[in-house]
Structure 1
Amino acid sequence: MAINKPILFILIILSFSQLSRAQSFRGAWEIGVSAGGAGYVGDLNQYNPVQVSGVNAGIFVKRNFNSYLGLRFNYNYGQIKANDANSSNEQFRERNLSFKTALNEGSAIIDFNFFDYAINDGTRRFTPYLFAGIGFINFKPKIKYQGETYRLDYLGTEGQENGYKNTALAIPFGGGFRYNYKDNWSIFTELGYRTAFTDYLDDVSGVYPANPVYVGNNPGLNLSDPSLHQTGAAGVQRGDFRKRDTYLFVSVGISFTFVSSKCYSF
């Protein structure tokens, strides 16, 4: 799932517009926590962009420049997984691939409120908002077999000599709704997607290798081609042809805003 470039462009324009129009305002720092579900769209889940397969939790520190615009720094932890054996698609069930990974994400995100939000002298106690930014993601796809856990990124299941990098850039984007329910306290809910600059969140990107990877004993498991009838011929595509995986966090959270009386001018 690729980022919607027109929406991102509009968000950036609106953000700079608000900065240029502001003559003076009270700045405010905000801290918050969130939790919810995590999911992914990729080679093992090609068609359901809202499928949740794990959990997420996060913390953030945010600078609110005015009642419309803020910049937050996030850390999010999540877990995602997928298993062809659970698919409704017969071809995927035959392919029989699976993975599970933890996600560690750090990001810087611009928030844009649609309404004049109550924090920082705004007039509205609620507002929908959009966000976009840049970050990085660390992932470690694994599989468990015969009681042992194997790191797929180390094993080169598609013939990679030294595996592949398990850290990549990510582009967060999405939207949500926040409500100032008491004094400096707010609650919020948001849905955010992340386009990862890697196709290996699920360990699937290229083709079946000529020399597959086996683990375990008697007879062991072919990690490169665990298909039910060993149908993965060398050189045949293992997954889809998209070059980037996407993951999502759907969250609810609570935050506290420290309002400052110092004025800034632009």
Structure 2
Amino acid sequence: MNKQFIAILLVSAYSNIAFAQEYKYEIGGGTGASFYMGDANKSAPFLYPGWTGSAIYRYTINFHWAVKANASIGRLWGNTDQSGNRFPFEKGTSFSRNFGELGGQMEFNFFPYSDKYSYLGTKPYTPYVLVGGSVTMTTIENSPSLSVAIPLGIGFKYKLKNRWNVGGEFSVKKSLGDKLDVTQKNAGWDLNGPYGIKSSFLKNQDWYLQAIFYLTWEFGLRSDPCHGM
């Protein structure tokens, strides 16, 4: 009995690793809100909501792992009047700008995600976490500006019906530049280093957040779902 029990455990463990969803790819889109944090907003992540939209492409590796690419657009804005900061000479300013983003993330599903293979313990829903990288483009004083960001996030997805998925995702993106909130200079002062301290990776203040709801459709039937790896 002990040998049989061990064999069952080994087969179950292998199945959760090697089996994959029935379809390899997902494509879809989502919409929601974007939020800015930086020199004009250091402590209230949802103070200045903007809009955002995203196109999504996902490759499913197996029940637990997936790779996702996204192309997003949106709008960010902020105002120093509600920042809680005191700036030199009691200066104040605001900004508003559109952004575009190309990104890629690795996702980990906490539950084995599928609406089939229930004998393997799969579930048609799961929370997940993501980490990756992205490139963000904005326009500052009629000139394009690129910066790299590191996204971290959490989400939840559900198999609405065969081949259709719905989900919600919240991600926090640390910009490695300090230009998301740059304003037109006024007497030598703006939000790009308002205290006269040169920006660096450790001193950079710019973040942006995204919260979206999305719908995706699966395609690319696997010839053998038992070899998802």
TM over 0.5, shorter chain? yes
Match of residue 133 from structure 1? 132
The runs of 5 or more residues in structure 2 that have no matched partner are: 1-12
1:192 aligns with 2:171: yes
Q: TM-score, normalised by structure 1?
A: 0.67
Shift of 1:236: 4.5
Amino acid at match of 1:177: F
1:252 aligns with 2:213: yes
Q: What SS does the aligned partner of 2:223 have?
A: strand
Q: What SS does the aligned partner of 2:177 have?
A: coil
Q: Deviations over 1:94-128 (max 9, x none)?
A: 42121111111001111111011125746211110
Q: What SS does the aligned partner of 1:22 have?
A: helix
1:22 aligns with 2:21: no
Shift of 1:224: 3.6
Match of residue 155 from structure 2? 176
**Kept after mapping to 1: 8 A contact 2:41/2:84:** no
Amino acid at match of 2:113: Y
Match of residue 61 from structure 1? 57
Distance 1:73 1:45 in 2: 29
Q: TM-score, normalised by structure 2?
A: 0.77
Amino acid at match of 2:137: N
Q: Deviations over 1:168-202 (max 9, x none)?
A: 11111100111112111111011001111101110
Shift of 1:36: 0.4
Shift of 1:53: 2.4
Q: What SS does the aligned partner of 2:222 have?
A: strand
Match of residue 101 from structure 1? 97
Amino acid at match of 1:113: N
The runs of 5 or more residues in structure 1 that have no matched partner are: 1-17, 142-150, 155-164, 205-211, 214-221, 227-231
Distance 1:180 1:236 in 2: 51
Q: What SS does the aligned partner of 1:116 have?
A: coil
Amino acid at match of 1:58: S
Distance 1:44 1:223 in 2: 18
**Kept after mapping to 2: 8 A contact 1:28/1:120:** no
- Aligned-pair identity (%): 24
Matched residues, number: 207
Match of residue 70 from structure 2? 74
Amino acid at match of 2:67: L
Amino acid at match of 2:134: G
**Kept after mapping to 2: 8 A contact 1:27/1:65:** no
Counting only pairs closer than 5 Å after superposition, residues 1-266 of structure 1 correspond to structure 2 as 22-25=17-20, 26=22, 28-85=24-81, 87=82, 89=84, 91=86, 94-118=90-114, 121=117, 123-141=122-140, 151=141, 166-203=145-182, 213=185, 222=186, 224-225=188-189, 236=196, 242-258=203-219, 260-263=221-224, 264=227, 266=229
Structural RMSD (CA): 3.3
**Kept after mapping to 1: 8 A contact 2:130/2:154:** yes
